Amino acid sequence: MGASAAENGRAAAGEAEFLAAYDPREFPPVAVTVDIVLLTLRHGLLSVLLIRRRDHPYQGYWALPGGFADPDEDLEQAAQRELLEETGLSTFPGHLEQLRTYGRPERDPRMRVISVAYLGMVPGITRPEAGSDAAVARLWPVEDVLSDDEQVRPQLAFDHATIIEDGLERVRSKLEYTSLATAFVEEPFTIADLRRVYETVWGVELDYGNFRRKVLNTDGFVEPTGDTAPTGRGYADLYRAGRTTLLQPAMLRPDSRGR
């Protein structure tokens, strides 16, 4: 694509340089990794997938799943590949998006490492135990991971605590203005299932009636399957995700009412 002629004929000279590769000595040495904040609902708790490190530095510490991006691989592909490798799943069943890039010079003691973080959400079916190594991959409740209590909090490698915090903030705010909550539940789901997602991620209680009215009045958010499912006592209508991704108007988070 760059081979098409440059505009207004000003780029006449030096066409031969075009295919010249960078001289590695010309630019600073750096490694690029991807890390994934994979969130799911497990036992009614919002949980994040962590891997226990085998190697130095931070040996024995808990880290986000991730690794180097291969040379011919898109970053999102790399994130997905690493995730499948470390969970043992064969296809990625949820939503994956880029979160943010972390590049503090001292974040890895060995050399300059730039990490492109991704954020993933999957229904609560993830079983890292089924994957490669049951002893090293685990789902941690985020309230424990970010707890002030050193007894319950895992030791996190690198700047992964910051990355997890940023991921959480992203998820919490995206529940407000997108239909992302549906990525946390398997289809078909009930209104109550969806409410549970909001309540768990936001850490609040929501009025069932108002929640239901809001979801059903926002068209494209969910669509009824026509079926119902027994729910212990009584039956509940079943839904699947609609085609709308942006909620209009947004779902309001109770916290944010009082500023």
Partner DNA sequence: GTAATAGTGTCTGTGAGACATTATGGC
Partner DNA sequence: GCCATAATGTCTCACAGACACTATTAC
- Applying CB under 8 A, which residues contact a copy of itself? 1-2, 6-8, 10-11, 14-15, 17-22, 24, 27-32, 55-61, 68-75, 98, 100-101, 103-105, 109-112, 114, 116, 154-155, 157, 248-250, 252, 256, 259
How is residue 143 written in tokens? Answer: 């309230």
Residue 127 or 138 having the CB closest to a copy of itself: 138
Q: Is residue 114 close enough to count as binding DNA by CB under 7 A?
A: no
235: contact with DNA by CB under 7 A: yes
For residues 89 and 127, the answer to whether their CB atoms sit within 8 Å is no
| Binding of DNA by 33 (CB under 7 A) | no
Question: CA-to-CA distance for 28 and 112, rounded, in angstroms?
Answer: 9
Q: How many CB atoms lie within 10 A of CB 41?
A: 22
* Residue 66 CB, nearest approach to a copy of itself (Å): 13
Half-sphere CA count of 132, side-chain side, radius 13 A: 11
Tell me the three state secondary structure of residue 213: helix
The contact pattern for DNA, residues 74-93, with x = CB under 7 A and - = no contact, is --------------------
Minimum distance of a copy of itself from residue 200's CB (angstroms): 23
Contact 159, 107 (CB under 8 A): yes
- Secondary structure letter of residue 17 according to DSSP: G
* Residue 32 β-bridge partners: 114
Binding site for DNA (CB under 7 A): 190-192, 207-210, 212-214, 217, 228, 230-237, 249, 252, 254, 257
